[in-house]
A and B are shown apart, each in its own frame.
Chain A
Amino acid sequence: MDKVKLNLLIIVISSLFYSKISIANSTSGEWKPQIIEKMYILPPKQLNKVLNNDFNSSILALNLQNTDSKIKSKIKKINDLKIMLPDLSQEDKMEINHQIIVNKRDYIKEMNDLLNMKKQKLNTKKNFFIRIEKKLKNKKIVNKNFSKFEEDKKNAIKRSKSLDFKILEDTSSDFTKKSKYFEQYQSNNKAIKKLELAIKNHPMNKQNILVKNPQNKLEAVQNFIQSIDAEIAVLDMKEQIISYMAKIVALDAMSLAESITLVDNSNENDMKNYNDPINAIEFFTN
C-alpha cells in the first residue's frame, strides 16, 4: 500500500507540472527535407506530394508511427482494466484504479509526444513553403527588373523562329554552303519542336495552370502555409485538451491516495491501541 501511495504521489506531482514541461520536450527525431533545388519549380500540389514522401522516409515519421501504436495499446489496456473493475474486491479495485491512472499518465505522455512530433512536422513543412514563397517573391522582383530585356529577347526568339522556314527554303546561293552549326541547328530545332508539341499536348500540362502563372503559384504556396497554420492551431488546442486531461489524472490520483489513507486509518482504528492502559485491562482481569 505504501508503494502505491508513493506512486500516486509521483503521478500527482508529475501531472501538475505536466502541461508546463511537456511542450519543451523534443527528442522525437528529426526531419530535414532532402528535396533538391530543381524540385522547387514543381507545381505546389506535386511539391507537397514530394514533401510528404520525403517525410515518410524520415526518423520523425518512424517515431510518429511507433508513438501512435503505443497510444493505441495504452487505450486498449485502460479499457481492459475498466472492464475488470466491477467484479473486484475493495482492495483489488484500488490496485486496478491505480493501474488505470498509471496507464492514463503514460497515455498523456505518449499523446503529448505525438502532438509535438506532429507540430515539428508541420513547422518544418511551413518553413519549407516559406522558403519557396521568398524565392518566388525574389524572382518576381528580379523579373520586374529584367522585364524589358526579357521582352526583347522573347521578340528576338519569335522573329528568329518565324524565319527558320524561310532560311531553309532559301534557294539563293547565300546559304548553299551550309555550316556545321547550321546543319545541327536544323536537326536540333526539329527535335525541340517535337518535344514542345508533346509537352503542350500532355494532359498533365493542360491541367496545370500554375506552371504558366507564377502569381498563381505564389498564391497556392501561400494557401499551403495558411492551411499548415490552421493545422498548427488545431494542435495547440489539442495540447490544451491534453493539459486538462493531465489535471484530471492528477485529481484522480489525489482522490485515490486519499481513499487509500482512509482505508488505512479505518484498519488502524479497528486495531486496539495497547498504549492506552484501558485497552489492556482484559489481560489483567481474565
Chain B
Amino acid sequence: MSKQFKIISTILLGLSFIQPTNAGPIDNLERERSRVLSHILNKDISILERNQLVKKSKMKLLDLERMVINDRDISNNPDYHTRKAFDNFDLTFLVHTSLEKEKSISITWLESLGLTTNNLMSTRVSRK
C-alpha cells in the first residue's frame, strides 16, 4: 500500500513540474520542415510524387520561415533549440537557402549535410 502511494505521489509530483507549452512559430516551422524532409527521404514514393509533395509544402514553409525570422518576441530569452535554429540558418530555413543557392530544397538540405555527388562518388564500400 505504502509503495503504491509512493509511486502515485511521485508521478503526481512529476506531473506538477510539467508546464503546458505553447507552440510558437519555431515549433510550427520544425513540424513542417520535418514533414518536407520525410517526403525527401521517403523511398516508397516516386520522384514525381516527391516533387509534388515538396512543392506543395514550399509555400507554407516559406511563410513559416518568414514568421520565425521576423518574430520580435523570439529574442526574449531564446531556448537552446531556437539558438541552434538560428545558428544553422542553412539547415533551418530551407526555402530561403534554396532560393539563395538556386537549387531545390532536397539538394540544398543534402549539401548542407555534406552529402554532395562528388562526396558520394568518392566513397567506396569496404569491410573491416
A binding-site residues for B, Cβ under 8 Å: 146, 148-150, 152-153, 155-157, 159-160, 163, 166-167, 170, 173-175, 177-179, 181-182, 185
Query: Which residues in A have their C-beta under 8 angstroms from that of B99?
Result: 163, 166-167, 170
Interchain nearest-CB distance for B117 vs A (Å):
23
B binding-site residues for A, Cβ under 8 Å: 55, 58-60, 62-63, 65-67, 69-70, 74-75, 78, 82-83, 86-87, 89, 93, 96, 99-100
Contact present for B78 and A149 (CB under 8 Å): yes
Question: Which one of B86, B87, B96 contacts A163 once the chains associate, using CB atoms below 8 Å?
Answer: B96
Question: How far, in angstroms, from A150 to B63 measured CA to CA in the complex?
Answer: 21
Query: Which residues in A have their C-beta under 8 angstroms from that of B74?
Result: 153
Q: Which residue of A lies closest to B58 (CB)?
A: A174
Question: Which one of A148, A152, A178 contacts B59 once the chains associate, using CB atoms below 8 Å?
Answer: A178
Interchain nearest-CB distance for B61 vs A (Å):
11
Contact present for B96 and A159 (CB under 8 Å): yes
Query: Which residues in A have their C-beta under 8 angstroms from that of B87?
Result: 148, 152
Query: Which residues in A have their C-beta under 8 angstroms from that of B86?
Result: 149, 152-153, 156
Contact present for B66 and A175 (CB under 8 Å): no
Query: Which residues in A have their C-beta under 8 angstroms from that of B93?
Result: 156, 159-160
Contact present for A175 and B89 (CB under 8 Å): no
Contact present for A159 and B62 (CB under 8 Å): no
Asked whether A167 and B70 contact (CB < 8 A) given A149-B83, A159-B100, the answer is no
Question: How far, in angstroms, from A146 to B82 measured CA to CA in the complex?
Answer: 12
Interchain nearest-CB distance for B1 vs A (Å):
50
Of listed A148, A160, A178, A181, residue having the most chain B CB within 10 A: A160
Interchain nearest-CB distance for B101 vs A (Å):
11
Query: Which residues in B have their C-beta under 8 angstroms from that of A146?
Result: 75, 78
Contact present for A175 and B78 (CB under 8 Å): no
Query: Which residues in B have their C-beta under 8 angstroms from that of A174?
Result: 55, 58-59
A-B contact pairs, 27 of them (CB 8 A): A146-B78, A149-B75, A152-B89, A153-B75, A153-B86, A155-B89, A156-B89, A160-B65, A160-B66, A160-B69, A160-B70, A163-B96, A163-B99, A166-B99, A173-B55, A174-B55, A174-B58, A175-B62, A177-B59, A179-B59, A179-B63, A181-B67, A182-B59, A182-B62, A182-B63, A185-B63, A185-B66
Query: Which residues in A have their C-beta under 8 angstroms from that of B89?
Result: 152, 155-156, 159
Question: How far, in angstroms, from A177 to B55 measured CA to CA in the complex?
Answer: 11
Query: Which residues in B have their C-beta under 8 angstroms from that of A166?
Result: 99
Q: Which residue of A lies closest to B102 (CB)?
A: A166
